[in-house]
């Protein structure tokens, strides 16, 4: 019986020893994960900081405090009311990015570093935004973020915390201010739209004017070149005609005849025209008559002479006068031809009959003109007679 009791006691002792060993081993070995840090206290004092991996502790003497996360952490704080310099209350949301760099300082220098960072960010934000008006606070976010980061990083450095970035998520002004801002923004957008439209219209007008100017310049250059080429062609034509006329050695009668041939062209057209007819027109008529007929009837000669005597040096006549002068010229031409034909027939008839001395034989009357006198006096060609002008008379109309 005593043996059984002794065995039971031995088993219990062994179990206690095994449990004790297990507990000792469990308290002696610590595995720290990556990006974590553990602070070890020995007999109540800081002993060391455990790094990631397998670590051995003295059981019942060393105590491991809660692990600290060494990764960068993001903390979003609730909206905080902040008063600006122009006494407007705005609500600002803040986001702080920080990282624990010293586990010992974060454990022993501050009791709750998360709460401390939140409160410090709130007070610093109020100090920074309190020196700005609403417009500056809305447009100076980068400046506010930089000032907050500098102040928080300097204050939390002794806590073993590094503030990497501070961001303002939203700045919400009062509702009345938001309505005013929306109206202002709407007016600003409309103003910019009007300016852009005006700029577009201006550029379009400038481009159209530039294109019109270039087109006018090119058109003017083309007209100028065309006029120059036309003038050169006319000059060459005049030179060629003038040279051909002078090489043919024309007399005054031919020039007068050509001059009279151009008169009908002056009267062409349906509009009323006035032309300046030079005084050489009658001389040209007499020259044509003398050249074609050798002799002009007294009536025609008298009419031509009276027209030459009564005509002024230069007359201003109309289109009808020009046409009448042309008709008279043609009538005189026909009369001259008739006289020439009659003279030729008379000479041939006298040659077949008994010829008489030239000094005593009178001239036979013209068969075409029975009422004409016995002999039509010849109109000798005057050597001093000037040919009609070769140029067309200038237009007065």
Q: What is the pLDDT of residues 270-329, one digit of tens each?
A: 555 555 555 555 565 555 555 555 444 444 444 444 444 444 444 444 556 667 766 777
Which of 127-136, 197-206, 210-219, 234-243 has the weakest average pLDDT? Answer: 234-243
Whether residue 81 is predicted with pLDDT greater than 80 in this model: the reply is yes
Read off the DSSP letter of residue 279: T
Look up residue 338 and give its two tokens: 């008739």
This prediction has a pTM of 0.44
Whether residue 194 is predicted with pLDDT greater than 90 in this model: the reply is yes
Whether residue 393 is predicted with pLDDT greater than 80 in this model: the reply is no
Specify the 3-state DSSP secondary structure of 318. strand
Read off the DSSP letter of residue 248: T
Give backbone dihedrals phi and psi of 81, rounded to 5 degrees, phi first: -75, 130
Mean pLDDT of all residues in the chain? 74
Q: Is the dihedral of CA 180, 185, 191, 193 positive or negative?
A: negative
Which helix H or strand E contains 165, and what residues bound it? strand 161-172
The three-point CA angle 21-25-30 to 5° equals: 165
The three-point CA angle 395-310-253 to 5° equals: 65
SS3 breakdown of the chain: % helix, strand, coil, rounded to 5? 55, 20, 25
Band the pLDDT of 5: cuts 50, 70, 90.
Answer: confident
Distance (Å, rounded) from C-alpha 341 to C-alpha 137?
122
Distance (Å, rounded) from C-alpha 374 to C-alpha 358?
16
Task: Delineate the domains of the chain, giving CATH numbers in brackets.
Answer: 2-68 (no CATH), 71-177 (3.30.479.30), 252-347 (no CATH)
More confident site: 4 or 372: 4
Q: Which residue in this structure is represented by tokens 């938001």?
A: 178
Distance (Å, rounded) from C-alpha 318 to C-alpha 269?
13
| DSSP class per residue in 49-118 | EEPSEEEE--TTTEEEPPPEE-SEEEEEEEEEEEE-TTS-EEEEEEEEEEEE--HHHHHHT-S-HHHHHH
Which of 65-79, 87-101, 152-166, 268-282 has the weakest average pLDDT? Answer: 268-282
Buried b (16+ CB within 10 A) or exposed e, 8-40: eeeeeeeeeeeeeeeeeeebeebebeeeebbbb
pLDDT tens-digit readout, 42-52: 988 999 999 99
Look up residue 80 and give its two tokens: 């905080």
Q: Are 171 and 136 in contact (CB under 8 A)?
A: no
Q: Around Cβ 194, how many Cβ atoms within 10 Å?
A: 10
Looking at residues 113-128, what average pLDDT do you find? 89
């Amino acid at each position: 019986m005593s043996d059984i009791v002794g065995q039971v006691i031995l088993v219990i002792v062994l179990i206690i020893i095994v449990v004790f060993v297990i507990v000792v081993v469990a308290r002696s070995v610590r595995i720290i994960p990556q990006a974590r840090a553990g602070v070890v206290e020995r007999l109540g004092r800081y002993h060391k900081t455990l790094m990631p991996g397998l670590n051995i502790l003295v059981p019942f003497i060393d105590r491991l405090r809660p692990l600290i996360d060494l990764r960068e952490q993001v903390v979003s704080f609730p909206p905080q009311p902040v008063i600006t310099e122009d006494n407007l209350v705005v609500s600002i949301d803040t986001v702080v990015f920080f990282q624990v760099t010293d586990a010992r300082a974060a454990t022993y220098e501050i009791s709750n570093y998360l709460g401390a960072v939140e409160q410090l960010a709130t007070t610093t934000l109020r100090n920074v935004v309190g020196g700005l008006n609403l417009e500056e606070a809305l447009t100076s976010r980068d400046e506010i973020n930089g000032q907050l980061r500098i102040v928080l990083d300097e204050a939390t450095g002794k806590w073993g915390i590094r503030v990497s970035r501070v961001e303002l998520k939203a700045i919400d002004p009062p509702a009345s201010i938001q309505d005013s801002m929306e109206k202002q923004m709407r007016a600003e957008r409309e103003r910019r739209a009007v300016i852009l439209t005006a700029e577009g219209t201006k550029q379009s007008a400038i481009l159209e004017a530039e294109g019109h100017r270039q087109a006018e310049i090119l058109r003017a250059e083309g007209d100028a070149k065309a006029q120059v080429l036309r003038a050169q062609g006319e000059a060459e034509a005049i030179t060629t005609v003038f040279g051909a006329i002078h090489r043919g050695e024309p007399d005054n009668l031919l020039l007068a005849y050509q001059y009279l041939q151009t008169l009908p062209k002056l009267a062409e057209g349906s509009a009323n025209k006035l032309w300046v007819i030079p005084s050489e027109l009658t001389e040209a008529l007499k020259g044509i008559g003398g050249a074609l007929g050798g002799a002009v009837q007294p009536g025609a000669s008298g009419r031509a002479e009276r027209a030459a005597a009564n005509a002024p040096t230069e007359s201003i006549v109309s289109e009808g006068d020009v046409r009448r002068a042309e008709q008279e010229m043609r009538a005189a031409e026909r009369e001259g031809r008739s006289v020439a034909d009659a003279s030729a027939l008379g000479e041939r008839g006298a040659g077949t009959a008994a010829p008489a001395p030239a000094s005593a034989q009178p001239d036979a009357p013209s068969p075409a003109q029975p009422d004409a006198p016995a002999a039509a006096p010849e109109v000798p060609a005057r050597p001093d007679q000037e040919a009609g002008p070769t140029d067309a008379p200038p237009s007065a109309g």
